[in-house]
Amino acid sequence: MSNSTEETIVPTWIAAEGWSAPLYIASTPVTFDQYDLFCEKTGARKPGDHGWGRGARPVINVNVADAVAYCQWHSNETGTLIRLPEENEWEYAAKGGSKSMGYEYSGSNVLDEVGWYIDNSLGKTHPVGQKKANELGIYDMSGNVFEWCGTSGAFRGGSWGRGNLGCRVSRRYDGRQDERNNSCGFRVLKQG
């Protein structure tokens, strides 16, 4: 496999320093570019984008099974175990890991600095990585899209359609594993 394909899959891994085992989380949620490549290679259904655009925007309208299928494909492409983060891993990374400054949102106490939410999103997602990163260099963990965690149906991080309280790193939501909507995407993690 060529480097350019791997770079298209996940551009940057960030080490969540201080975790009990080596843990690397993607610097951004999975984008339409990344997910569309998976769909083209596997014949999976391409999710709709609500007319907001694809490219570097976070993929939306995916459920847990879609996210797990992407992880399995990514694992096969890279030879590395790729999976969804569990809730405790997601929260550790969102809080800044061992470099945490104790912020309410991922990287700041001011949501406008780090996230797209109901007051600044214009009612839609935005390309990833445009706001300030957290202490580890991870983007979009507060706002833009909710992120599926594990396979339990829980999602974290708030979205473009939520207010301040809904985007705090401590906030969690329970969804249905088969749910697909325009507020939910996912991020991937690798160990080792």
d(CA 67, CA 59): 10
Say what the pLDDT of residue 111 is: 98
Total tally of structural domains belonging to the chain: 1
User: What is the CATH classification number for the domain harbouring 58?
Assistant: 3.90.1580.10
Average of pLDDT values for 93-110? 95
pLDDT confidence bin for 112, thresholds 50/70/90: very high
For residue 113, CA distances in Å to 46, 106, 117, 134 come to 31, 10, 11, 10
Q: Work out whether strand 13-15 and strand 172-174 pair parallel, antiparallel, or are unpaired.
A: unpaired
| Whether pLDDT at 154 is above 70 | yes
Please identify which residue in the block is written with the tokens 């490219």: 55
Say what the pLDDT of residue 42 is: 97
d(CA 82, CA 166): 27
Q: Which domain holds residue 13?
A: 3-191
Average of pLDDT values for 35-64? 97
Beta-carbon-side half-sphere exposure of residue 102 (alpha carbons within 13 Å): 0
pTM across the whole model: 0.93
Phi, psi angles (nearest 5°) of residue 11 = -70, -35
